[in-house]
Chain A
Amino acid sequence: MIELVGRGIVPGRVRAPALVTREPISGFGGIDVATGTVIEPRHELFGQCFTGRVLVFPGAKGSSGWSGFFQSTRLMGTAPAALVFDVITTKAVLGAIVTRVPTVVQAAPAPVDTIRTGDLVEVDGDTGRIVVIRTDGVAVHSGE
């Protein structure tokens, strides 16, 4: 079990498998809200669905539509289960608030280096704690 500690910015606690990327994500032009899928052709998550998963990513990029697009995933029932990111911008922070899913930012050790896609993680937006409960990830962790 690995524990990461950051700052919770949207309350709530959820347990779900992780979807991890080292690349920032666009909202507008980057995701399809109807299917909860990353649609930016050159993105390493291209074609992957984040619905019901803990989306672990460095931060937001692109248009100011970011928050509105993630808000729409909530309204369309395709939202991630939780958000975990590092770079604090108005886009990503407002996006987390209107998506209303548990969100932890700036956790240590660095989430994109520590959590792997497929790991079962628990995100606590009240305490800022992230626990990797079971590692099913595509790569083996060092130091485990």
Chain B
Amino acid sequence: MHLTDEEKRMRDGVEGDAVAVAMDLLIRYGDALQAERLVATRNVAGTMTQPSPAKAKLVAEGGWAKAFAVMNLDSDRELEIPSMRVPTCQLQHGFGADAEGLTRYPADSIRLQEDAESYFTERGVRVLGTCTPYQVGNLPVLGEHCAWMESSAVVYANSVLGARTNCEGAASTGAASLTGRIPYWGNHLPANRLATHLVRAETPVEGFREWGLLGYFVGELVQEARPAVVGSLAPASDADLKHFGAATATSGGVELYHLPGVTPEAPTLEAAFGRSRIPEAVTYGSRERRATYETLNAQGESTEVDFVLLGCPHASLAQVQEIAGLLEGRRLADDVQLWIMLPRALAADALRQGWTRTITRAGGRVLTESCPAMSRAAPPGTRVMATDSAKQAHYLPAILGIEAWFGTTWECVDAAVTGRWRGELT
């Protein structure tokens, strides 16, 4: 891999040991990818404050410097960690103090995370505490090279914003934050941003659930590839696009999609495919829609719901407003918990608007920083969950050993109020 003189200096330790170790990792990584070179980035979104048993052990042994060295730089050496070289944000992490007592999530982990926040904010990390940094100020522009992790954020950045990032990990984003470099490979290259598959929706796609179903279908179909989707698509809100992308990244590994006429790199279907031949479309019809719905709902048996989870990826203000409207003047069923997950910055706005009061009066909770999948904890005793997120419906049964129902936001609120799952596909 070609290195610039500045990159060679970083590799050789002129900028300090931690930068040298970071550059060494990027070289091993770039060589393995067969990247020709690195590319400069000033936008890194990673995770370093997220508590885990492995990390707690490392912190006990050598503090946060050791945890960062091992987890974020793949180093066994003791390193002094300098300030981040380029703007870097922390994505979602573990539950914050607002979830204390609501779950068996260990209080030790909350304290550990607060300790981590002190350490990393001192080194310039912006602790946004969300899987949707684009909703709270980290909004990369068209063509901007980024080093992001979090599959739902990556697919949103590439597809909806037209920024360029691969699906990075804790180690590559850690190395990028100290060097301002990431391998110039994959989604960074214009030629790799063209669509590879065409899907035509022949059944109407309108509303949050329908975009989630379509996304789950498309991800399973194309796996790691790049779909363009056309057909009977109603105008999508930012929340719809967020949900669609997250679903494609959950059932498959989609990092970039095109909606011709909607997403910025595909003003037309032809533009989505560049000079390549446009392939024959795969149909998403009523049969495919039903099969996808049944797959997502194959993990529920009991219709007695005790936990409802909304806000995955983290809810937008419009979603919180909608949920508050559905809960206005109502009350959750006994023994049912309702959580709405969102970024702390948006929680401040939801509070100001009065939506949080409406939700808490009904018995629900507005929680920040994380989600049950990330923190691997739901309310104690949860057996059956309902969610409007294809991603949570996919992950939580495996992670927590619970049953899950997937449906509309309305159906989920109904389940919270009645304690019964009555969702259906009409």
A110 within 8 A of B: no
Of the candidates B34, B70, B150, B185, which one forms a contact with A75 in the assembled complex, judged by CB atoms under 8 Å apart?
B70
What 0/1 pattern do residues 25 to 62 of B give for CB contact below 8 A with A? 10011011110000000000001000011100110000
Sample (20) of A-B pairs whose CB atoms are under 8 Å apart: A24-B223, A24-B253, A29-B394, A39-B398, A39-B399, A41-B299, A41-B397, A62-B250, A64-B151, A64-B154, A64-B167, A67-B169, A68-B169, A72-B52, A89-B186, A90-B185, A94-B29, A94-B169, A94-B171, A98-B169
Kindly state the separation between the CA atoms of A62 and B399 in the bound complex, as whole angstroms: 14
Name the A residues within 8 Å of B212 (CB-CB): none
Q: Is the CB of B32 within 8 A of A40?
A: no
B183 to chain A: which residues have CB within 8 Å? 90
Give bound CA distance, A28 to B372, whole Å: 13
Please pick, from B53, B150, B185, B399, the residue contacting A29 in the complex, using a CB distance under 8 A.
B399
How would residues 168 to 179 of chain B score, 1 for a CB under 8 Å from any chain A CB and 0 otherwise?
111110000000
B394: chain A residues at CB < 8 Å are 29
Residue A9, interface by CB 8 Å = yes
Hey, which chain B residues are within 8 Å of A9, CB to CB?
31-32
Chain A residues whose CB sits within 8 angstroms of the CB of B398 once the complex forms: 29-30, 39-41
Q: How far is the CA of A24 from the CA of B220 in the complex (A)?
A: 11
State in angstroms the CA–CA spacing of A72 and B170 once bound together. Answer: 11
Q: CA separation between A71 and B69, bound complex, in Å?
A: 13
- Chain A residue with minimal CB distance to B397? A41
Q: Which residues on A are within 8 Å of B, measured CB to CB?
A: 9-10, 24, 28-30, 33-34, 39-41, 59-68, 71-72, 75-76, 87-91, 93-98
Asked whether, in the complex, the Cβ of A90 is within 8 Å of the Cβ of B224, the reply is no
Q: Which residues on the A side are within 8 Å of B70 (C-beta)?
A: 75
Q: Is B249 an interface residue (CB 8 A)?
A: yes
Instruction: Decide: B171 and A61 in contact? CB cutoff 8 A.
Output: no
Instruction: Please name the 8 residue pairs, one residue from A and one from B, whose CB atoms are nearest each other, closest first.
Output: A67-B169, A64-B149, A9-B32, A29-B395, A90-B166, A68-B170, A61-B253, A94-B169
